[in-house]
Structure 1
Amino acid sequence: MNDRILGIGALALAAVMLGYGWGLEAPFSYEPLGPRAFPLLIAAVMAICGVVLVVKGGGQVQTNPSGANLRIAAMFLVIVGYAVFFESAGFIVATAVMTMLVGRLFGGGWLWPAIAGVVGASAFFYLFDRVLDVVLPVGVLGGWL
């Protein structure tokens, strides 16, 4: 029954996203699809997943393993922190720190998640900001980029 409840919740959220995304319009045309394409696409995918969950149903619910609820709460706080510090710290710093903390939550050490965070955030910044011309905040690294 929990999968069906989640599916109904996903359908409701998809409907809200559809209503919000449908009204998005840019004051000037800067790309062929406009700003509404991404929220509508995400709403469509979410609605499809919701329908699958409602139709498929679910099996027996299993309890979380020991410590999982604490890691879930910590993950939520990491994501909230990422959203709060994204502009001021900048994409590279915020993404590198988030990647490192998520790596630690999933049992990694400090070194490899830190390396993956810095390399991945730098590569994605270069790809989006320089190649695809999607402006990302530079934050504290503003003088170096």
Structure 2
Amino acid sequence: MLFERIFISSIGIASFILIFVAWGHVAPIAYDPLGPRPYPVLLLSLLLISCVYLVFRPKRFSDKVDTGFLNPLVLKKVCLTLLFFFIYAFTFEFLGFILATTIMCFAIGVLFGGNIKASLISAISMSVFCYLMFDYGLDVPLPLGFFFSK
């Protein structure tokens, strides 16, 4: 319990410092009336408020939860998930968003016990939907990879 409060306090202190860093941020180009400041200040303020609550909450509201991280199977899955994310980060531009995201989502789905057919269908549909949403809906260009390069 003490280690949890110390860890949350350190996150709270870091967010407090980052609020002052974000408050002084000024964009060189004014593309928005509010500027880039409100979003990080709002998120960091919410994080700071949550940390203050978690540090000073009464002991009766904190139950001891067994997360099961000492289980070797859970540790293996966590390590493989991190490995998949690193591979995804390194192959993102080369393979493109759709293919890299499909492979990563399929691997994570199968790793956590999903059916192969269902994992493949959901990985493809999620990759294509996210690509269309970012590229056409939000106008954020994503890499297509070497298969679709001109």
TM-score range, shorter chain: 0.7 to 0.9
Greater Cα offset, 110-119 or 84-93? 84-93
Match of residue 63 from structure 2 = 59
Q: Which moved more, 1:11-20 or 1:113-122?
A: 11-20
The answer to whether the aligner puts 1:8 opposite 2:9 as a matched pair is yes
Question: RMSD of the TM alignment (CA)?
Answer: 2.8
2:50 partner letter? C
**Which structure is larger by alpha-carbon Rg, 1 or 2?**
2
Tell whether 2:49 aligns with 1:48: yes
Deviation at 1:9, TM superposition (A): 3.8
8 Å contact from structure 1 (residues 92, 122) kept in 2: yes
Structure 1 position 33, deviation (Å): 4.7
1:14-46 deviations in Å (ceiling 9; x for gaps): 346435544554432334454444443443343
* Equivalent residue for 2:80, pick from 74, 77, 99: 74
Identity between Structure 1 and Structure 2 (%)? 31
Match of 2:19 in 1: 18
- Structure 2 unmatched ranges of 5 or more: none
- Note if contact 1:6-1:50 (Cα within 8 Å) is conserved in structure 2: no
- 1:82-121 correspondence runs (5 A): 82-121=88-127
The CA deviation at 1:95 is: 1.8
C-alpha distance in 2 between matches for 1:141 and 1:35: 36
Partner residue in 1 for 2:31:
30
Q: TM-score, normalization: structure 2?
A: 0.72
Q: 1:32 to 1:134 in 2, by over 3 A?
A: farther
**Which structure 1 segments of 5+ residues have no match?**
none
Q: Deviations over 1:46-67 (max 9, x none)?
A: 3333233323364335243441
Q: Between Structure 1 and Structure 2, how many residues are aligned?
A: 144
